[in-house]
Amino acid sequence: MTTTVQCPTCGAPVEWKTENPYRPFCCERCKLIDLGAWAAEEHAIPGNDLEDEMFSGDLPTRPH
């Protein structure tokens, strides 16, 4: 029995199997749309603000 999931981009049903090179996406187009959203910072993994502030002082400053 093959597991079916929804494409995160368009919601189309996707068979979760090794032969599907785009899983969990239904096609290359949906995969690239999602990649573009990450590149545009529309998606983000939540972090710990306090931890980010604690360690940001460890980074050297760079002239712009």
CA-to-CA distance for 19 and 47, rounded, in angstroms? 34
User: Three-state SS for 49?
Assistant: helix
Residue numbers belonging to the annotated binding site: 7, 10, 26, 30
Where is the binding site for Zn(2+), in residues? Answer: 7, 10, 26, 30
